[in-house]
Chain A
């Protein structure tokens, strides 16, 4: 696929353009804006609880989205929560790709008993729904950041593994791979130079879709108090915390809720657009 075709496809996919722009704004905001807001995400200020949003009337120094029950600036907490969510999702997706792709390629390439074992292992993990598995493991191993990343990774590597394995099965039987075998190439050489480049498109697409999903799963765990623990902010635990005050101070849940929705939407748009743009079948 030529670069000009890629660029043309990118420009003509509205989902891709919108997703990429919004995702970019979100990533840049959560990384850099906390340096400018001037509030701490965790320090209480009991003199200024439940303040209404100032919007931008005081610039970046006001309580743009108001304050919560402990007087903490919601906008600041949103940004820090986003930092955690995006950081966790990025680490988790990378780990999933690595942990899923490696056995997937090996199982698909060598087949036989190895394939059976890997696939049965996937079946077992798949047999327990994602969220339940995550909740049960979190409950047992205890709640902290490392465990959260471990649990989210564990619940999702299977998809990568199965997709990779199925694609390898298809590619393994193509002529160019047979040709390499006939020419005496080693297994490692064939796997890394012949097969891997042909499954990367699928992996990139899958990873971009898993990103949004991971953010949602993390939010659900944090909402259930099994993810990021207060007072450290996360969008999930902010929604949980604001729920009791929702009737009178709705911005406590609306701010993190809308942030969560926009962020996941942006990444899903991006993932979907990416699928359209990279689609090998399209012509």
Chain B
């Protein structure tokens, strides 16, 4: 177990290193001179050169990368050209909002979708199963863009029940969470269903029935655990990609989080911020993947025996 975790940790660090290199060079490819963007319009050639030296842009790329990555390790993500403040500070300020939204979404999605998937999978071919599949396919086909706008229209404008802007109260969570959770729940229900169908065909399930175990117990205690591995993997992937998920929703519902920040930064050509959001999101993805692998190896002992 310990060796497995160390091995996965090593892989994670390697991937993160590559992501940092990738994002560094990607941003260096961006049009425009960062030094010019830091200065007011019409700055003199000398001032630009001075700024380039100050930003280290006169040095070779690998030196620049080395400086950048040592800074990142110390918690220095650079300076935002648009906000003219520390990038790390801006992110630290907005991250909790996105995390809160994600946590509520994941919990709500799982509580609803996992039981649904298990029930559908263990009642294959029934009406429950059909409607679950319909629900799931509809959810997968719902563009977050359209779903968000539809929610604003129906509940915010038409019925006027819920606030559609900003953050603060519990009521503010309802629409963003619903918008984020539906496509997620659809996928979870689906994978839970197919995992359950596959499991129930296994010999060991017939063997469990042959031991006189009740159908309810077979489904919810024994087969459930087998079907859980793909579910946990999927939930992990979706949680890990949460910043991507929230871009649209935060933009539509004016939720002051990382997703909205990324969208604004792209518009502002604030490359230091874009680069950092890329890195932060990759880091979260990696950490959550690591946690998922550990949970899965606890559920299914075969995983770390491999």
Q: Give chain A residues whose Cβ lies under 8 Å from the Cβ of B247.
A: 131-132, 135, 220, 224
CB-based contact A128/B269 at 8 Å: no
CB-based contact A224/B15 at 8 Å: no
Provide the B128-143 mask, 1 if CB < 8 A to any CB of A, else 0: 0000010001101111
CB-based contact A127/B15 at 8 Å: yes
Provide the A260-283 mask, 1 if CB < 8 A to any CB of B, else 0: 110011001100100000000000
How far is the CB of A131 from the nearest CB of chain B, in Å? 4
CB-based contact A136/B26 at 8 Å: yes
Give complex CA distance A154, B11 in Å: 22
CB-based contact A140/B27 at 8 Å: yes
CB-based contact B281/A128 at 8 Å: yes
Tell whether A127 pairs with B19 under 8 Å between CB atoms, given A136-B274, A243-B149, A253-B149: yes
CB-based contact B274/A139 at 8 Å: yes
Provide the A84-102 mask, 1 if CB < 8 A to any CB of B, else 0: 0000000000000000000
At the interface, yes or no: B37 with Cβ under 8 Å from chain A? Answer: no
At the interface, yes or no: B278 with Cβ under 8 Å from chain A? Answer: yes
Give complex CA distance A253, B267 in Å: 23
At the interface, yes or no: A239 with Cβ under 8 Å from chain B? Answer: yes
At the interface, yes or no: B16 with Cβ under 8 Å from chain A? Answer: yes
CB-based contact A236/B152 at 8 Å: no
Tell whether A127 pairs with B16 under 8 Å between CB atoms, given A132-B243, A226-B266: yes
Give complex CA distance A258, B266 in Å: 28
B 226-282 contacts with A by CB, 8 A = 240-241, 243-245, 247-248, 251-252, 262-263, 266-267, 269, 271, 274-275, 277-278, 281-282
Q: Give chain B residues whose Cβ lies under 8 Å from the Cβ of A128.
A: 19, 23, 278, 281-282, 285
At the interface, yes or no: A16 with Cβ under 8 Å from chain B? Answer: no
CB-based contact B282/A127 at 8 Å: yes
How far is the CB of A155 from the nearest CB of chain B, in Å? 10
Q: Give chain B residues whose Cβ lies under 8 Å from the Cβ of A111.
A: none
Residue among A131, A132, A225 with the highest chain B CB neighbour number at 10 A: A132
At the interface, yes or no: A105 with Cβ under 8 Å from chain B? Answer: no
CB-based contact A236/B137 at 8 Å: no
At the interface, yes or no: A250 with Cβ under 8 Å from chain B? Answer: yes
At the interface, yes or no: B168 with Cβ under 8 Å from chain A? Answer: no
| From A123, A130, A224, A268, contact of B141 by CB (8 A) | A268
Tell whether A219 pairs with B278 under 8 Å between CB atoms, given A123-B15, A226-B266: no
How far is the CB of B118 from the nearest CB of chain A, in Å? 20
Give complex CA distance A251, B149 in Å: 12
Q: Give chain A residues whose Cβ lies under 8 Å from the Cβ of B11.
A: 123
CB-based contact B278/A257 at 8 Å: no
How far is the CB of A108 from the nearest CB of chain B, in Å? 17
Give complex CA distance A82, B267 in Å: 26
Give complex CA distance A135, B259 in Å: 11
CB-based contact B26/A137 at 8 Å: yes
Interface CB pairs A-B, < 8 A, 14:
A123-B15, A124-B15, A127-B285, A128-B285, A129-B245, A131-B244, A132-B277, A135-B263, A136-B278, A139-B271, A219-B146, A224-B266, A246-B153, A257-B149
Residue numbers of A with Cβ under 8 A of B are: 15, 120, 123-124, 127-133, 135-142, 212, 216, 219-220, 223-226, 236, 239-240, 243, 246-247, 250, 253, 256-258, 260-261, 264-265, 268-269, 272
Residue numbers of B with Cβ under 8 A of A are: 11, 14-16, 18-19, 22-23, 26-27, 29-31, 133, 137-138, 140-146, 149-150, 152-153, 157, 240-241, 243-245, 247-248, 251-252, 262-263, 266-267, 269, 271, 274-275, 277-278, 281-282, 285-286
- Return the 3 tightest CB-CB contacts between A and B, nearest first: A129-B244, A129-B241, A265-B141
